[in-house]
Amino acid sequence: MQIKNLYKNKKPVISFEIFPPKKDGPIDTIYHTIDALKDLKPDFISVTYGAGGNTVNKTVEIASIIKNIYHIESLAHLTCVTSTKEEIENILSQLKHMNVENILALRGDFPKDPNFKFPDPLHYQYAKDLVTHIQSKNNFSIGAACYPEGHIGCDCLDKDLFHLNTKINTGADFLISQLFFDNEIFYSFKEKLNVQNSHIPISAGILPVINKKQIDHIVSLCGCHMPKKFIRIIEKYADKPEALKEAGIAYAVEQIIDLLSWGVDGIHIYTMNRPKTTRKIVESISTIRNVLTEA
Ligand code: FAD
């Protein structure tokens, strides 16, 4: 099923993100992750696309496994900044052939390579250009990324929102947000979308923070705001890994319960390939999920 139709028929849509095994790692390890996630009945599972193209084939293969072996809807991420138009064409054909109907169309982060050229006529420049191309194929439901606090590469939220509205107008069917720790920022972001685009379903990206190292990495990557209550937890339990894990999971659950009460379209859990953590979160909201789905 195309994911855009999932959002029409169900609220909330619960989804998970996984990443392929490292370049030389065996693909089999991903089966353990999916095996452990499938009982949680996600509405779809998305598979990241490695920066630099290292895990490209694995993304296609894993998205196909999720769809055709596990019979769970899959969403293949695809970035244009490190793959040429020709390579993108090839991937789109593979996805169609494998009956993967959903793509998260992304620009991708710039590689650190000093010879990297942007813009480059061999590549689609921005995610919106990739969206336009995929849409011309008429085979896929297209998702795109959004940033409640603005994209880190954009100096002002209004400008980023302008580009986001263009991306939606170009043909994105649904959005998945960057992670955030302050729900109020997400609510205010949703209000700022152009009126004509306010209908687009948005899944809120939730990352359960379960260790200190992860936090430094996240902040350097997306620069998101950390509320005082979140900082207190990190500081208090920084040297107590088990306590930090418990508190991090509880924080994610609290965020999700608030988002669901607010009426969010979907929750997208960045699983980091840690099914046990994901299980704890999903089980904590199981009654609420049932109540809302039946409503
Ligand atoms: P765009 O929408 O193209 O925006 C990129 C920047 O360009 C923004 O600052 C925007 O304001 C600006 N911009 C857009 N259009 C224009 C224009 N016409 N003129 C000037 N400026 C413009 N990365 C990966 O490598 N692999 C993944 O699998 C992956 N999955 C992700 C999943 C989610 C849910 C999210 C939120 C991010 C993911 N990323 C992934 C990271 C993403 O690739 C980076 O954040 C990247 O820097 C931006 O991608 P985008 O698709 O949002 O780009």
Q: The CATH number of the domain where 10 resides is what?
A: 3.20.20.220
Please identify, by atom number, the ligand 1 atom nearest to the C-alpha of residue 48: 28
Omega prior to 12 cis, within 30 of 0: yes
Residue nearest atom 47 of ligand 1, based on CA coordinates: 109
- The answer, yes or no, to whether residue 168 has pLDDT greater than 70, is yes
With respect to residue 230, please indicate whether it lies within any of the assigned structural domains. no
User: For the whole model, what pTM was predicted?
Assistant: 0.97
Note down the domain range covering 274: 3-211+248-294
pLDDT in tens, 47-101: 999 855 456 679 999 999 999 999 999 999 999 998 999 999 999 999 999 999 9
| Count of domains observed in the chain | 1
With respect to residue 102, please indicate whether it lies within any of the assigned structural domains. yes
pLDDT in tens, 178-194: 999 999 999 999 999 98
With respect to residue 73, please indicate whether it lies within any of the assigned structural domains. yes
Q: What is the reported pLDDT for 54?
A: 59
- What would the mean pLDDT of 3-12 be, rounded to a whole number? 97
Cα 238 to ligand 1 centroid, rounded to whole Å: 31
Instruction: Looking at mean pLDDT, say which of 19-28, 46-55, 220-229, 272-281 comes out highest.
Output: 272-281
Structure tokens at 12: 């909330």
- d(C-alpha 144, C-alpha 125), whole Å: 15
Residue nearest atom 43 of ligand 1, based on CA coordinates: 108
- d(C-alpha 184, C-alpha 186), whole Å: 5
